[in-house]
């Protein structure tokens, strides 16, 4: 019996051949041209449309916005330009999921108007109707977003960004903008955007964190309409290689204790640890007015300058869901899986960009202070359809193992002992027959984790895409290494030691990556435990 993958590969080769013959013809008729376009876009769908990462059906997407949970549904809005495949006048697109894995795109939620484009922001479920928008017992959902006034920007003004609200009385399907927008006019700050709002139950007020150039400003409000400036944070802390964007301030229980800490996520563009845009975080306390950095965490910052949520190049502008029920209790996150360095150049044309896998964030205390760990949400694993489980397997047995199976890699878990590891490089390779290779793993000479996509297929669309190998220092004194890898057609998300260190990166192979092996000069190297799950999606 021929395996599925064989057909899959054959199909792509066939399409490529048809395309090659058709495109050789001179004097194309319109029908020919349409045929070429549709074959090209079919190839793009097959080869690059992710299996399970959210992408819009067509056109440009960037940041996740306004995520909230209500009545069994996770809502995801996103920066969207419906008329082109590069950034343009921003709308909020919308998608809904029951499990944060399978998404259904919805009609556009918010359109630009006279006040400006609709930039990033958040949404909250106003259970107590503090805003007064609720009618006849219907709970309102409030979106809080930035208006970006293009005419103002073009005219060289600096006050072209302001904060505004809209409300929905049908669980986020349709929205009415507030007549008295903006709710926070611009105070004379050029970059003044991306409001993220949380209910602070200690002081019974809404707290907004807002990116303002090189710092975060906090505002409070009893009703989401009237806002008071409280304090600011971060001018001299963390990374400042670029402008601060998309903050998220939230309380979180320290894992394994009943203590509550507050985490402040801040995206920055450029200035990320491996180039371009990335997301850093801070751990501290919020006293209703100010965010006060935790002492231990401040020590971590002195060592490292900045601490990053993800050290790969493709996780940006991520924030967390609001209104997750207390009975669930998770802090759930999703990011934009791209980088402003090359987002508009990636070789997909029908749509541009996808989101990361939805992740659960946990705050763990360790010997250094605090670590914000992330792992894919458990819901993803309910799609597992095939399971390969091996104990104590030598690295040279791996290749055969997977070549014979028809696994369409989706999740791999590996565990190995580190204390006997040599000063060598341990690389996991994903590759195909045409020579595209994605490699990642541990460089034990430098004590670094790495992802190398320099030979992963299409890389020339931007000079910045594969100019460097991404790296991050591994924590010292590791006894054991657990690696969880989530693989889709064009992305890899690597979670080391329960998400203590995360790396997310894109790649665009010329054919699907179908083979897997482990390369090292250490011949005695063996994997204590290997588990591979294939996911099935309809």
CB of 405 to ligand FRU, least distance (A): 39
Query: Residue 50 or 116: which CB sits closer to ligand FRU?
Result: 116
CB of 280 to ligand FRU, least distance (A): 14
Query: Residue 184 or 428: which CB sits closer to ligand FRU?
Result: 184
Which helix or strand (DSSP H or E) is residue 18 part of?
helix 4-24
CA 59 from chain centre, in angstroms, equals 18
CB of 78 to ligand FRU, least distance (A): 10
Give the Cβ contact number of residue 253 at 10 Å: 14
Query: Residue 181 or 408: which CB sits closer to ligand FRU?
Result: 181
Cβ–Cβ < 8 Å for 516, 409: yes
Report the C-alpha gap between 47 and 362 in whole angstroms.
34
CB of 190 to ligand FRU, least distance (A): 12
Axis-axis angle for helices 30-48, 4-24 (nearest 10): 150
Catalytic residue among 63, 126, 294, 310: 63
In three-state secondary structure terms, 471 is strand
Query: Residue 218 or 416: which CB sits closer to ligand FRU?
Result: 218
Q: Is residue 406 annotated as a catalytic residue, yes or no?
A: no
Query: Residue 62 or 122: which CB sits closer to ligand FRU?
Result: 62
In three-state secondary structure terms, 295 is helix
Query: Residue 9 or 214: which CB sits closer to ligand FRU?
Result: 214
- DSSP conformation letters of 325-373: -TTT--EEEEEESS-TTTGGGSS-SSEE--BPPPEEEEEEEETTEEEEE
CB of 132 to ligand FRU, least distance (A): 27
Q: What is the DSSP letter of 467?
A: S
Whole-Å CA distances, 90 to 78, 120, 167, 395, 411: 9, 9, 18, 49, 34
Q: What contacts 5, CB < 8 A, 6 or more positions away? A: 406, 408, 512, 514
CB of 49 to ligand FRU, least distance (A): 22
Residues in the site for ligand FRU, rule: CB under 6 A? 62-63, 79, 90, 119-120, 146, 193-194, 245-246, 317
Structure tokens of 112?
């630009």
Q: What residues are annotated to the active site?
A: 63
């Amino acid at each position: 019996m021929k395996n599925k993958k064989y057909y899959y590969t054959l199909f792509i080769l066939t399409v490529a051949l048809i395309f090659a013959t058709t495109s050789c013809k001179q004097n194309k008729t319109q029908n020919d041209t349409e045929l070429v376009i549709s074959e090209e876009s079919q190839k793009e769908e097959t080869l690059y449309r992710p299996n399970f990462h959210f992408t819009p059906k067509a056109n440009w997407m960037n940041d996740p916005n306004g995520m909230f949970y209500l009545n069994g549904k996770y809502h995801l809005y996103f920066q969207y330009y419906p008329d082109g495949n590069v950034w343009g006048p921003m709308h909020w697109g919308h998608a809904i999921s029951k499990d944060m894995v399978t998404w259904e795109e919805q009609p556009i939620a918010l359109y630009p108007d006279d006040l400006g484009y609709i930039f990033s922001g958040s949404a909250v479920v106003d259970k107590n109707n503090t805003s007064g928008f609720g009618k006849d017992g219907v709970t309102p959902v409030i979106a809080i977003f930035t208006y970006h006034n293009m005419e103002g920007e073009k005219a060289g003004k600096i006050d072209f960004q302001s904060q505004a609200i809209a409300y929905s009385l049908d669980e986020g399907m349709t929205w009415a903008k507030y007549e008295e927008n903006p709710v926070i006019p611009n105070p004379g700050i050029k970059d003044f955007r991306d409001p993220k709002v949380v209910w602070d139950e200690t002081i019974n007020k809404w707290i907004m964190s807002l990116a303002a150039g090189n710092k975060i400003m906090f505002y409070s409000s009893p009703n989401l309409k009237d806002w008071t400036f409280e304090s600011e944070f971060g001018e001299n802390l963390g990374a400042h290689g670029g402008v601060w964007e998309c903050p998220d301030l939230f309380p979180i229980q320290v894992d394994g204790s009943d203590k509550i800490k507050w985490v402040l996520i801040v995206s920055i563009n450029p200035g990320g640890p491996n180039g371009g845009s990335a997301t850093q975080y801070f751990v501290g306390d919020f006293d209703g007015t100010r965010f006060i950095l935790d002492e231990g965490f401040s020590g971590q910052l002195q060592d490292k300058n900045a601490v990053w949520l993800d050290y790969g190049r493709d996780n940006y502008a991520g924030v967390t869901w609001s209104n997750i029920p207390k009975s669930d209790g998770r802090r759930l996150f999703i990011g934009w899986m791209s980088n402003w360095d090359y987002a508009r150049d990636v070789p997909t044309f029908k749509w541009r960009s996808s989101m990361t896998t939805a992740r659960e964030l946990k705050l763990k205390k360790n010997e250094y202070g605090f670590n914000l760990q992330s792992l894919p949400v458990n819901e993803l694993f309910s799609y597992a359809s095939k399971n390969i489980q091996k104990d104590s397997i030598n690295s040279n047995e791996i290749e055969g193992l997977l070549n014979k199976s028809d696994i369409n890699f989706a999740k791999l878990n590996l565990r190995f002992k580190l204390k006997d590891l040599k000063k060598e490089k341990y690389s996991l390779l994903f590759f195909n027959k045409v020579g595209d290779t994605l490699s990642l793993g541990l460089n034990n000479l430098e004590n670094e984790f790495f992802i190398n996509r320099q030979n992963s297929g299409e890389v020339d669309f931007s000079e910045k895409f594969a100019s460097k190998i991404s790296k991050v220092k591994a924590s010292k004194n590791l006894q054991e290494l657990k690696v969880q890898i989530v693989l889709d057609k064009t992305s890899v998300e690597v979670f080391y030691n329960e998400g203590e260190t995360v790396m997310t990166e894109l790649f665009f192979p010329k054919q699907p990556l179908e083979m897997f092996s482990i390369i090292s000069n250490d011949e005695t190297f063996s994997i204590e435990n290997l588990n591979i799950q294939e996911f099935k999606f309809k």
